[in-house]
A = this chain, B = another copy of it.
Amino acid sequence: LKDADSCFQVTYRLRAKDFAAARAVAHDICIEQTVEFPEDLIKDPFIRSEVFGRVEDLTEEAAETFMAVIRYDNRVAASELTQLLNVLFGNISIKQGIRVERLSLSPEVLSSFQGPGFGRDGLRALLRAEDRPLLGTALKPLGLPVVSLAGMAHEYALGGIDIIKDDHGLTDQPYCPFEERVEACSAAVARAGEQTGENPLYFANVTAPAHRVMERARFARDAGAGGLLVSAGLVGFDTMRLLADEFSLPILFHPALLGSYVTEPTQGISHFVLFGQMARLAGADASIFPSFGGRFSFSLQDCRGIVQGAGVDMGSIRPIFPVPAGGMTLENVPALLDFYGKNVIFLIGGNLHRHGDLTRTCRRFRDMVAGERASG
């Protein structure tokens, strides 16, 4: 019998009319995700025992809903994140009624990945913020010239925002070219830090064409950026992993283009896995998502899944920050504090511009989440 450490496990939620149908789907996954070949034509005992997936558990969770735990041999994933994702959900992403719910990776698979370079503790240490929720915001709108974005970055940082990131749509447009923007914003945020005595960080968006990603990250590091913003759905999850491995900069994961995995509860990838476990395997230190209460559609339960996935034990892979975003307002900060507690980065964007003086509004936001009284 196989050693448990030689395998990793994936829990799938299956929609099926009864137990027998669910068992057939689970069995089909074992074949489709490994050999992708008619099972009856494979006689080789090595392939049958060492390559086929195997159903470890199958339980009925609700009407027409089943949870299947499937075990895959470590070697099938080849110590590659790309191939691991392929095994989890490559071909079966095309079928209806299958959702990846949870990963239980073996020590061997986990040891293939360094995970987040900083994680929660590392990012808190960088920011010198030991015991409070962190704050983030975005430089936007697209179309502003660099001087305006840098000025805005300075005001945000003076107001006590910890992380000031490029909007994920700022790449290298003619109105705000990458190099000019990153130099100006890095300098503006550093200057504010000297003024406040804090250590705010500017995160440059390095989501870019494949031959430019590493080059932009090097430029950002050398220009003094404090972190990188990466849309893993646009550049590939493993490109984010490579950035984490190659640069000593924290990484913010943006979910652009990835929404289709989570919009249907009966298909795709759970919030827990996509924003938590996958983001961590791919080196993100913090994971942005549209929180309940904003202008998108994630539910309380979806958000709870993300919080859990960001923190669940994954051996050597550090826990990371959930980053609720997507239409937060100063008004709903108290409700968000209740829900998320302190291990969170609150990302608030356009709404900061609704209250007059930007630096003063940021300071109010900071005081609210730090549990201090507003100073003015």
Question: Which A residues lie at the B interface, using CB under 8 A?
Answer: 33-38, 41-42, 44, 46-47, 50-51, 75-76, 78, 80-83, 85-87, 89-96, 138, 140-144, 167-169, 171-175, 207-212, 231, 233-236, 238-239, 241-242, 255-264, 267-269, 290, 296-298, 326, 349-351, 353-354
Contact = CB atoms under 8 A, between A and B. Distances in A.
B173 A211 contact: no
Given A93-B256, A141-B47, A258-B93, A80 B35 contact: no
A97 to B, nearest CB: 9
A95 B296 CA distance: 6
A138 B51 CA distance: 17
Nearest to A269: B260
A285 B200 CA distance: 47
A260 B81 CA distance: 19
A350 B171 contact: no
Given A35-B142, A83-B171, A90-B231, 8 more contacts: A37-B349, A47-B141, A47-B142, A86-B257, A93-B233, A93-B257, A234-B238, A264-B264
A260 B95 CA distance: 8
A91 B210 contact: no
A211 to B, nearest CB: 5
Contact of A141 (B51, B173, B269): B51
A336 to B, nearest CB: 18
A90 to B, nearest CB: 4
Nearest to A239: B210
A234 B85 CA distance: 7
B83 A235 contact: no
A211 B243 CA distance: 10
Contact of A76 (B173, B241, B353): B173
A141 B36 contact: yes
Contacts of A207: 82-83, 86
Contact of A210 (B241, B268, B298, B353): B241
Q: How many copies does the complex hold?
A: 2
Nearest to A94: B259
A350 B172 contact: no
B141 A35 contact: yes
5 contacts: A36-B167, A82-B207, A83-B207, A94-B262, A209-B241
A209 B81 contact: yes
Contact of A95 (B210, B259, B354): B259
* Residue from A38, A90, A258, A297 having most chain B Cβ neighbours under 10 A: A90
B242 A95 contact: no
Contacts of A261: 260
Given A234-B236, A236-B210, A263-B94, A38 B86 contact: no
B144 A257 contact: no
Contacts of A211: 242
Contacts of A143: 35, 44, 46-47, 50-51
Given A76-B142, A234-B82, A351-B38, A260 B93 contact: yes
Nearest to A173: B78
B80 A171 contact: yes
A290 to B, nearest CB: 6
A256 B91 contact: yes
B75 A290 contact: no
B264 A78 contact: no
A242 B80 CA distance: 20
Given A234-B86, A296-B94, A260 B257 contact: no
A255 B94 contact: yes
Nearest to A327: B38
